[in-house]
Structure 1
Amino acid sequence: MAKFYGLPQWMLTTLVMLIALCIVLQTGAISYSFRRLRTGWVRMVENGMECVILVILFLFAALLAQVKYALYCGFLESSDYYLIRQVAFLISAALCIATAVGTEMIWPFFAIGGSAVLLPMTEKITGFAYPFFFLTSILFFLVRSIHICLMRRQEIHTQISYVSIKETIDILHTGLLFFRQDGNILLCNHRMDELAQQMIGQSLQNGREFQQLLEGGSLLHGCSREVFGDQQVFRLPDASVWSISSHDIPLKHRTLVLLTADDVTERWDAVALLAHQNKVLEKRGQELRHTIEHLQTICEAEEIARSKGRVHDLLGQRISLLLRALRDDQQPNEALLMDFVRNLPTMLREDRTPSPDYRLEMLKKTFQGMEVSVEIQGNLPDDMEVADSFAEIAVECVTNAVRHGYATRIQFHFFQNDCWRMTVTDNGIPPVGPIREGGGISEMRRRIHRVGGTLELYTVPRFSIQIFVPKKGV
């Protein structure tokens, strides 16, 4: 150390500050090291090595202080602190070797080289270059202390400890409660404690009593027991729904009880929504079935109502003429009365069958109330026989599309060029295989054949019916 007396004061001051910083950082490294979990002799050896390195740094500081401040008013020779320096080096070397063997890493051997600068023998061998090696050792321990602090800090944050396990359990959305058979609680996370507060109004004191209360005790106002599938659930005042189940956990010579609380609110709401939608669909299905089954009756009722209206109009017109003549004290014309009597049956028979256009319009209105859209593009043929056939087929197509394909939209397209054409498409469920023609389609084919036309069925890209009827004389 005698070579340090020739160094400038600023350089000695810098060395003192570096050693002080090394001591602070090494103290932090020791603190982090001891905060780790003890997992065996390797961890203990590592901690001991960090403590010995701190002692070595204090020896560096003592040697440098004696140079700079003439500590103990003596001139520092290489033999000062001879025994302490050698013992500290030997202990550090032994711990570094044990750490390297235990961790199977090479980096602990570097600390032996940094500690070797402390030996008087090293000072004699290096001579005037000793201050350089001294500074290099200080910088090595400085970098090492920073590295150890960062590494140990990362280990603490990633290691699994009792505290970290409890923190992890507390942030779970699922409620957990462990207790012994006598009800003594071993572990309860925040979620389960919050649920207990909402159901019984107090924190958990006894696990067995809480379990018995769940099975049949009285709950606070706003809490209720519900049945969800084949299990019991609890609806809380905040509208959440929880399923609480019990599990026995054998552990050596005793058995622990685990209560788990799972949030089933989303599934509960989904089932409730599905049940409501099923009721709506069932009601709509009943309406559709009723309408389809009574479609003929509906058409007959419409026809009867239309006929009644026509009779009312015809009789009302004639009776109004007679009443006017009587009010005016006029003798009704005998010829007029006879003509009224003779023509009344003929006029009542007229328009007995509704026109094809009227039937299509009535079809649209009938299914519109059931949210089934019947869309018509184009005009029916001028030939009344063909138009009547198209109208009959349209009624059958709508009935089949709603009954078998669950369609909500049926489109009819009427157009003509060299023949009358009718195209029917719907948004129903397409057939999964070849179509087996039953009474409905067979009847449509017979009706079209009677007017000399053809009917074609297509299933791709969507189900459709195309009808062609040649024009007469073309």
Structure 2
Amino acid sequence: MEHLFLIKEPILIVLTAIFFLLSIGQTIHTLMQSTQKESRLFAALLLYEVLILVHLLLGCNTAASALQNNGEIFFRLKSITIALEPYLWINLFTALWGLMLTIKLKRPHMIFELIVIAACTPACIDLLDGFSWLLLSVDAGFFLTRITSTLIFDFRHQTSSISRLSLIETVNKLPEGFLCANKRGNVLIMNDAMRNCLVSLGFTTDHIKAHSLWSELKTKEQAETNLVNGVPSEGIRLPISPFETRLFIQSDITLHRQNCECIIALDVTEEEQLNTDIERTNRLLAAANKELEHSIHQLQIVAENEALLTMKARVHDIIGQRLSILHRYLEDENPDSDTLEEIIQLLNHVIDDLNHEDNPEKQAELDSIIDAFHLIDVTIDISGALPENSELAGVYVRIIREAITNAVKHAQASVVSLVFDEQADRHVLTVSNNGLIPKHTIQEGTGFPSMRKAAQSVGGSFTVSSNAPFTIKVVVPSKGDIHD
């Protein structure tokens, strides 16, 4: 291969530089290919790329050797000299290996590449004789194009696909802490988030063992007194800082056919805050529940008192009416036996009347009151009619019963006048009697307060006139708080 010495020096310098740069580019391409296992025959393709790198290094050495000597020396160190020609036969192996891949992967576009590589063997170089510089130029030009395009493709593929490097980078950028160790406890992978968590907890991340780490995390959890507010946890929950809480979970995984121990640190700060808010809300609800129970108890007492007052009023009204009728009958100088039997029936039905609510038919109830007082010759004069509103009519009946009872009992009245006056803006009930006029100021007992309360329950007023005739007046506005 002495004819290589005949190539001009500028051409050899350019070729040496090009092959040197191509060797660097091919090295980068080979390393990037080693991080990907997506294609078939991964190991065979990777070996082929390594052989291409060897081919380019031989090309660089060949051009450099021709520049310094006659192109036959591969390596020289003082008295040691290694010939270049035997190493050029490696290109033949590279071509044959590439041909095998071309057939298996069905890539006919590799034929020209293989021809260029095979032409760089000693036999072809000797055959070309003085045109061997053309072979080196074609070889350099072809691989300049090939390596430039493959590097562009590699960098694009690196940004759009998953490789070993991208997986490691992704794990490193995860907000969750991640640590993976083999069964001996040696850490294989630990991302920045896990490293920061351990440093914040006071651990040293150099030469850390996974087994001892998990035990120390449990010890720290037991030492904490304000964890999760009593909420059970499926792992180890620790505060990393006043504003961050992490949940450490341990599991077993398989990595490269090797059983490994994995520890993950999840950020549960929001969940911790939510648990705190829930606990505070539960305390507020418990307090509100106690207040509600107290209020319900008070309402029950009020309701019982109201029911008791209502019952007292009914007892006073009904029994007072019956006793007034009986008292008037007993004072009669000529008692009638038939009237006595009817009065006895009224007395016998006192309990039944107390057990029943107010009669929904108010007119019938008013008629029964009038009939009862007729037994003792008390005349009830009526002008007008009960209001159509059932609530107001019930109030009127209660007041009428009490007023007639008082008139008969205290004033010895024999005639009671009832006047129902329905005006545009109000309802007026007037009850008067021909009984005795009180000589002193009226001392209110149970009757007057119960009548006044009944009138006020429908938004009305209650007034008493002691002048002759003794008169009770109830005025209820038409737009009062009355419900049908």
Q: TM-score range by the shorter chain?
A: 0.3 to 0.5
- How does the TM-score come out when normalised to structure 1? 0.46
Larger radius of gyration between Structure 1 and Structure 2: 2
- How does the TM-score come out when normalised to structure 2? 0.45
